[in-house]
Amino acid sequence: MTSAVDTPAEESARPAPPSGLLTVARAPGWVRYALLAAGLLVALWLPNGLYPAVAVDILCWALFAVSVDLLLGFTGLMSFGHAAFWGTSAYVTGLVAIHAGLPFPAAVLAGALAAALLALPIGYLAVKRTGIYFAMVTLAFAQMVYYVANEWRSVTQGENGLQGVPREFFGADLSDDYYFYYAILPIVVLGLLAAWRIVNSPFGRVLVGIRDNPARARALGYPVHRYKLTAFVLSGFLAGLGGGLFAVGHRFVSLDVLHWTTSGKAVIVVVLGGIGTLWGGVLGAALVVRLEDWLSFSGFEAIGLVTGGIFVLVVLLFRRGIWGTIAHLARRRGAARRR
């Protein structure tokens, strides 16, 4: 972040001020509505074209990715410890669902609130650093949460994981993943809309301003740390929403949900989809989850080899990501037409 060499705007995947967010806002209304309608149609069709269990995972991971992009793309903070919020919510959701027998949306809400609560102290400490330090600090605190979950066996069951998380919803039969998908779709869409609303609010504009020039934002009188912390807590809440749904979806919570590879995977998904594009994360989630399912189904065991390889290639050759590349091409064509 403070490197001596200025990052050339053309090279950077993090959009310079007039690109990304603002361009999306400038796209003609009908294009945005058409894209939104198409996205919703795909979402409604998804469990008919894929295994419903995979479709459920895609929804959960879409929320996770968007929560990470809210920080990475729009606040300029790369959290490498988001598994802490995803996983904490998964455990809290599982525990609430098992012990209180509440309908699953209430359990998931409890989980997401717990995640947001955890994000408050971690974020308070982490926003004292920026750039690479921020990534290391969030990663370290996430690992601390992992150790706690590992050792606190009376609550988390340690390596055995939480078994038998119920899918209770006023007696409705949601045991089939196909119906469960449609039960969680509204929650996920609400979460995604919330992220979109945050990004396109005055608050979101301030975040982008902080991302592009923290010193200027501070000089304009914005309490930079407080804005970053608020974004961090909101992001923790959204990640928690995804993690809670993931727990109910699998009816099982394992320690993996808190492992640092989960945090890393969330960042891969965002980079692959396109940093700072919000909806790119949804695409990235769909691709990575689908690919991992396909790999494990075909008996390929070294999944890290493939995801790591994707990571290396994307970072080296494809930094704009999928959505970022599409937006970039559309922008170039638009500029050519105006000329």
Partner 1 sequence: MSGFLQNTFNGLVGGAFYALLALGLAVIFGMLRVVNFAHGAFYMLGAFGAYVLLAEAGVPFWAALVIMPLALGLLGMVLERAVIHRLTRLDPLYNFLLTFGLTLILQDLVKSRYGVQSSPYATPTELSGSVDFGLFDFPTYRVFILGFTVLLCAVVWWVLGRTRVGMVVRAATERPELTRAFGIDVGKWVTPVFGFGIALAGLAGVLAAPMRAVNPLMGADLIIVVFAVVVIGGLGSIFGSVAAGFGIGLIQAWGEAYLSDFPIVSQTVVFVVMAAVLLWRPAGLFGREEAPA
Q: Are 166 and 98 in contact (CB under 8 A)?
A: yes
> Alpha-carbon distance 202 to 182, whole Å?
33
Residue 308 C-beta: closest distance to partner 1, Å: 3
| Residues contacting 93, CB < 8 A, separation 6+ | 104, 107, 108, 110, 111, 165, 243, 244, 247, 248
Q: Nearest Cα to 76, choosing from 204, 212, 221?
A: 212
Query: What DSSP letter does each residue of 153-179 carry, written as one string?
Result: HHHH-GGG-EE-----STT----SHHH
Residue 122 C-beta: closest distance to partner 1, Å: 9
Q: Are 202 and 213 in contact (CB under 8 A)?
A: no
> Alpha-carbon distance 188 to 195, whole Å?
11
Position 235 contacts partner 1 (CB under 8 A) = no
Nearer Cβ to partner 1, position 53 or 310?
310
Position 130 contacts partner 1 (CB under 8 A) = yes
Residue 268 C-beta: closest distance to partner 1, Å: 8
Residue 325 C-beta: closest distance to partner 1, Å: 16
Residue 233 C-beta: closest distance to partner 1, Å: 17
Nearer Cβ to partner 1, position 90 or 126?
126
Residue 24 C-beta: closest distance to partner 1, Å: 22
The b/e string for 23-46 (b: 16+ C-beta within 10 A; e otherwise) is: ebeeeeeeeeeeeeeeeeeebeeb
Query: What DSSP letter does each residue of 2-25 carry, written as one string?
Result: --SSPPPTTT-SSPPTTSTHHHHH
Q: Quick one: which segment of 59-67, 139-147, 179-187, 230-238 binds partner 1 (CB under 8 A)?
A: 139-147
Number of residues that bind partner 1 (CB under 8 A): 55
Residues 255-314 contacting partner 1, CB under 8 A: 260-261, 264, 267-268, 271, 301-305, 307-312
Nearer Cβ to partner 1, position 151 or 176?
151
Chain residues binding partner 1 by CB under 8 A are 1-5, 7-8, 11-14, 78, 80, 125-126, 128-133, 135-137, 139-141, 143-144, 147-148, 151-152, 214-215, 260-261, 264, 267-268, 271, 301-305, 307-312, 315-316, 319
